[in-house]
């Protein structure tokens, strides 16, 4: 499967080193703050931030249970560019040059009032009130 480099509004299939460098250098912290590189939705490296403030990296390796983020959220552009270029070639050696922490994405906790059963009960209650009011 081919690597795809994407931002909020642009995508590049099989990006070369120059394209990767150009895209990362364009992240300005305003409208452009995110670049993602990967062969699939389950496997990718993602940079967020700006050239001025530095970048944080997110790495997902197959599933949400294997999602990590860099502890350093101000990585320099040159290092991030080199990491993206290596990742695009299948070289994962850069992963050991930064400290990672597990990034847990938890689904929102929904209560019983936000379930289909609650909606059906409320609909039945409203229908019962309407029937009582108009049925008499």
The per-residue pLDDT for range 71-111, each reduced to its tens digit, is 999 999 999 999 999 999 999 999 999 999 998 877 676 66
Query: Are 14 and 2 contacting, i.e. CB atoms less than 8 angstroms apart?
Result: yes
- Whole domain around residue 132: which residue ranges? 110-136
Same domain, 119 and 94: no
How far, in Å, CA of 77 to CA of 55, rounded?
7
> Confidence class of residue 136 from pLDDT cuts 50, 70 and 90?
low
Same domain, 87 and 118: no
**41 vs 25 pLDDT, higher one:** 25
Same domain, 100 and 122: no
Same domain, 40 and 19: yes
CA angle 68, 98, 5 (to 5 degrees): 60
Backbone angles phi, psi at 51, to 5 degrees: -60, -40
DSSP, collapsed to helix, strand or coil, labels residue 61 as strand
pLDDT at 21: 96
Same domain, 57 and 88: yes
Please give the tally of structural domains in the chain: 2
Same domain, 76 and 116: no
How far, in Å, CA of 38 to CA of 136, rounded?
65
Same domain, 83 and 117: no
Percent of the chain with pLDDT over 70: 93
């Amino acid at each position: 499967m081919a690597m795809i480099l994407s931002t909020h509004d642009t995508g590049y299939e099989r990006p070369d080193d120059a394209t990767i460098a150009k895209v990362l250098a364009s992240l300005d912290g305003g409208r452009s703050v995110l670049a993602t590189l990967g062969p699939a939705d389950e496997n990718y490296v993602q940079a967020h931030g700006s050239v001025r403030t530095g970048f944080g990296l997110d790495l997902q390796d197959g599933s949400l249970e294997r999602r990590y983020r860099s502890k350093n959220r101000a990585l320099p552009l040159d290092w991030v560019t080199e990491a993206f270029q290596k990742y695009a070639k299948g070289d994962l050696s850069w992963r050991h040059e930064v400290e990672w922490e597990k990034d847990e994405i938890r689904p929102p906790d929904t209560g019983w009032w936000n379930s289909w059963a609650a909606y059906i009960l409320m609909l039945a209650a409203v229908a019962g009130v309407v029937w009582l009011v108009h049925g008499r």
